[in-house]
Structure 1
Amino acid sequence: MKVVATNRKAYHDYDIFDKYEAGIELKGSEVKALRAGRANLKDSFVKIKDGEAWWVQGHISNLDTTYSAFRHDERRPRKLLLHKHEIAKLAGYTSERGYTLVPTKLYFNNKNKAKLEIAVAKGRKLHDKRRVMKEKELKKEAAAAMKRYGF
């Protein structure tokens, strides 16, 4: 599995509940750009519309060698390939107040297919973000102390 991009900000801004793997409908130039690692998941989200899942605001840059007539729109909405029962489940999550669908990882699986890992998430308040950061810092200090004293 070759990871192209991760959305580290999602783990900071949201509480992650459930994860799904979705295929992506891409053009050839987009696949080549992904293989070169030219993708960004920051500020993107997944939207359920008319029984279909769409990846919105995901950024896949053009390659420098691409002829200008064949360049793709870098931020175009891309259709996600999921089963109907998965889409229905995700639509049920998003109909509840406060839940959203956030892409967490973009990668190529063992069969060289581009996959997007999406997570059901709920936004954190500022004080929750501070609490989580404090807990991580305490765990880090405890692990360092255990290592220092040979445990």
Structure 2
Amino acid sequence: MANLIEHKRAHFDYEFLEHFEAGLQLFGTEVKSLREHRGKLEGAHITVRGGEAFLMNAEIPPYQAQNTVGKYDPTRNRKLLLTKKELTKLASAEEKAGLTLVPLSMYNKGRVIKLRFVVARGKKKGDKRQAIKKREALRDIAREVKRGVEKISKHLR
């Protein structure tokens, strides 16, 4: 299960509530392009319309630009393959105020390419700052613990 592409900024911008996994309807050239780790999920989102879920604004460039069919759109909408139960759950989550469906990564699962996405709530600036402070505090504590262990091990020798 190697990640082909991922949305790295999502962890900073959103608070994750629930994780999902879905298959994708892709062209063969898109699969080849993804296997070369070409593509972007930044700015992409998932929408549920008419009982179907779609990945919107995800950019997958053509595998070979010179061999691409004339009117290939790299940011076209791609259908997600989900069960009806998952679709109803996602539709109700999408309707709630403040919640959105954010793609995290595309990866191989055997020979199939899957999309990992989450139901998420956007973080405010203060939340982001608080997360940074917490991360720095944990890093400082880990550094001090490591120094203490090194001092103790020197005395035991």
Residue 153 of structure 2 aligns with which residue?
none
Residue 44 of structure 2 aligns to which amino acid in structure 1?
A: S
Q: Is the 8 A contact 2:33 2:61 kept in 1?
A: yes
SS at match of 1:60: coil
SS at match of 1:149: helix
Question: Where do 1:93-112 residues align within 5 Å?
Answer: 93-109=93-109, 111-112=110-111
Residue 117 of structure 1 aligns with which residue?
116
Q: Count residues with an aligned counterpart.
A: 150
Residue 146 of structure 2 aligns with which residue?
147
Question: Where do 1:1-150 residues align within 5 Å?
Answer: 1-64=1-64, 66-69=66-69, 72-109=72-109, 111-150=110-149
Q: CA RMSD in A?
A: 1.4
Aligned structure 1 segments of 4 or more residues deviating by more than 6 angstroms: none
User: Alignment identity in percent?
Assistant: 35
Residue 52 of structure 2 aligns to which amino acid in structure 1?
A: E
Residue ranges of structure 1 left out of the alignment (5+ in a row): none
Report the CA distance between 1:69 and its aligned residue.
Answer: 2.8
Residue 142 of structure 2 aligns to which amino acid in structure 1?
A: A
- Distance, in Å, in 1 between the alignment partners of 2:14 and 2:146 is 31
Residue ranges of structure 2 left out of the alignment (5+ in a row): 151-157
Report the CA distance between 1:144 and its aligned residue.
Answer: 1.5
SS at match of 2:119: strand
Report the CA distance between 1:3 and its aligned residue.
Answer: 0.6
Q: Is the 8 A contact 2:62 2:68 kept in 1?
A: no
Residue 146 of structure 1 aligns to which amino acid in structure 2?
A: V
Q: Is the 8 A contact 1:30 1:72 kept in 2?
A: no
Residue 124 of structure 1 aligns to which amino acid in structure 2?
A: K
Q: Is the 8 A contact 1:29 1:71 kept in 2?
A: no
- The structure with more radius of gyration: 2
- Distance, in Å, in 1 between the alignment partners of 2:68 and 2:22 is 30
Report the CA distance between 1:147 and its aligned residue.
Answer: 1.5
Report the CA distance between 1:137 and its aligned residue.
Answer: 1.0
- Distance, in Å, in 1 between the alignment partners of 2:61 and 2:93 is 31
SS at match of 2:72: coil
